[in-house]
Amino acid sequence: MSLPTMASPTLSPDSSSQEALSAPTCSPTSDSENLSPDELELLAKLEEQNRLLEADSKSMRSMNGSRRNSGSSLVSSSSASSNLSHLEEDTWILWGRIANEWEEWRRRKEKLLKELIRKGIPHHFRAIVWQLLCSATNMPVKNQYSELLKMSSPCEKLIRRDIARTYPEHEFFKGQDSLGQEVLFNVMKAYSLVDREVGYCQGSAFIVGLLLMQMPEEEAFCVFVRLMQEYRLRELFKPSMAELGLCIYQFEYMLQEQLPDLNTHFRSQSFHTSMYASSWFLTLFLTTFPLPVATRIFDIFMYEGLEIVFRVGLALLQVNQVELMQLDMEGMSQYFQRVIPHQFDSCPDKLILKAYQVKYNPKKMKRLEKEYTAMKSKEMEEQIEIKRLRTENRLLKQRIETLEKESAALADRLIQGQVTRAQEAEENYVIKRELAVVRQQCSSAAEDLQKAQSTIRQLQEQQDNPRLTEDFVAHLETELEQSRLRETETLGALREMQDKVLDMEKRNSSLPDENNVARLQEELKALKVRESQAVASARELKLQLQELSDTWQTHLSRGGRWKESPRKLVLGELQDELMSVRLREAQALAEGRELRQRVVELETHWPSMG
């Protein structure tokens, strides 16, 4: 998260702001009412010290601005410096005793200690007092620091990038590869390894930088670890920054309750609280005020926690309400960057006094925390529900896409099935026509066979008749040629039927037309019966042919009668050849009938298989 650095003064507050700042600042806070007389006297001394410091600084500024110095002014200046030195000595003695008797002061003089911290911890005592306030002395993690520096952190590049942006004008951190930048890098890297969930956040570098201005890096590391664990800072710097949202929510409630007009003005200008208050909570005003003022606020934060941030933030808005009400969003943004940071440079006690005049109710803040937690929990549940619905929606879209693809595939298959069925119906029609032609050829062959049988009978009757004419021989030759032609046609038809049978065997798993299945089955059954009868008659014919063949062979073996005449010899050869051709024709017809019988069987089994 990128945070702005401290702004340089370019504007000065107007008369109303000066009037607000001119109020008395050295009065005790509300918690001082229950202090003992000695404690009140000690606080009065501290207030006197602050007054003298302020007067001394004003006199020094007047001396630098004018060369007209009178003797009386020199006397008063020296007197003030003398009183200031005595008070500083008393303060050192007091805080030295507090540091040495810390447990007793925390246990028995807690109210006085709180007032002293609000008045400011002396610079040279801050290191030890801060460690005592957050119980960071003798922490076990201190012994791990040197080992952590030897390890590698995934946040090193980010830390290196932001080091130069942390207190760029401070001498300790100025210059690349300076000692301040090196020790700041070490502490940030070590913490990113100890708390990997938080890792590194830029705002935390300003807090670590302030610690390094007061103490060595090992002690600064321990104090920072304790602040992150016990002062809500870890929740502020988590990647989700949920605690920052809570702080902004609580601060907006206080603003609406105590400064309703200013809150309405902010809303009308779309000037959101996070635009000016986020850096207050993330850096504890270290990027808002100069270091002397920010350090005083940090003293109180070490003892009282984030409450001081709410108080100081609302006090700033109260002091500047009139001016802010007259500005638009851009003017307010400039005012927060240039005017507000330097209003309390001369006397931070004025700011602290204003802060403790702000109404702050811890119980109400707890109630707001519960409301915010419940609101965020509800938002989280709604986000989870939205995420679940989005996931379901995505899954439903995927399911719809899958179903659309399946529907398209089924439509393609349906169209392909219809095309295939039409092709099969056409092929069935062609096969039926071919089957009708074959049946017609079978009938013709049967008629020819009957004619051949009658011719054979006539030949058998004429075997004993020696009177044969040339017309009869010519007739036999013509019939022989016709028989050869029919044999060729029959053989061709037989081959075609064999091809059809093979094709039917390959396609015996194909589906016929559903509407014609029953009719085809009945027709095929009838054909099967007729073909069975034809097979039986073919077998009988075969037997007769075999008998005729045997008779013919016997006749040939006896045929010495025709050797007497050449004409008889030629006639005998023609008759022999005619008889052989007719026998082969009869065998081919018988074979064709068997093949047709097989076709019938295949066609009978075809629908049942489908």
CATH 3.40.50.970 fits 121-235, yes or no: no
Tell me how far apart the alpha carbons of residues 605 and 599 are, in angstroms, rounded to a whole number: 10
Per-residue pLDDT at 220: 94
Tell me how far apart the alpha carbons of residues 603 and 251 are, in angstroms, rounded to a whole number: 94
Amino acid at 212: L
Structural domain boundaries in the chain: 121-235, 242-360
CA Rg, the chain, in Å? 60
pTM: 0.56
Residue 132 has pLDDT above 70, yes or no: yes
pLDDT, tens digit (0-9, with 9 covering 90-100), for 381-420: 777 767 777 777 777 788 788 788 888 888 888 898 888 8
Per-residue pLDDT at 59: 45
pLDDT, tens digit (0-9, with 9 covering 90-100), for 426-469: 888 888 888 888 888 888 888 888 887 888 777 777 665 555 55
DSSP string, 579-598: HHHHHHHHHHHHHHHHHHHH
Per-residue pLDDT at 537: 67
214 Cβ contact list (under 8 Å, min separation 6) = 126, 127, 130, 220
pLDDT, tens digit (0-9, with 9 covering 90-100), for 186-237: 999 999 999 999 988 878 999 999 999 999 999 999 999 999 999 989 888 9
Nearest to 340 by CA among 281, 294, 387, 405: 294
Per-residue pLDDT at 472: 63
Mean pLDDT of 601-610: 57
Residue 25 has pLDDT above 60, yes or no: no
DSSP string, 87-129: HHHHHHHHHHHHHHTHHHHHHH-HHHHHHHHHH---GGGHHHH
Q: Which CATH superfamily is domain 242-360 in?
A: Ypt/Rab-GAP domain of gyp1p, domain 3 (1.10.472.80)
Per-residue pLDDT at 400: 83
Nearest to 276 by CA among 268, 328, 285: 285
Per-residue pLDDT at 251: 95
Quickly count: other Cβ atoms within 10 Å of residue 436's Cβ.
10
Most confidently modeled range among 82-91, 404-413, 528-537: 404-413
Tell me how far apart the alpha carbons of residues 453 and 544 are, in angstroms, rounded to a whole number: 9
Mean pLDDT of 361-372: 92
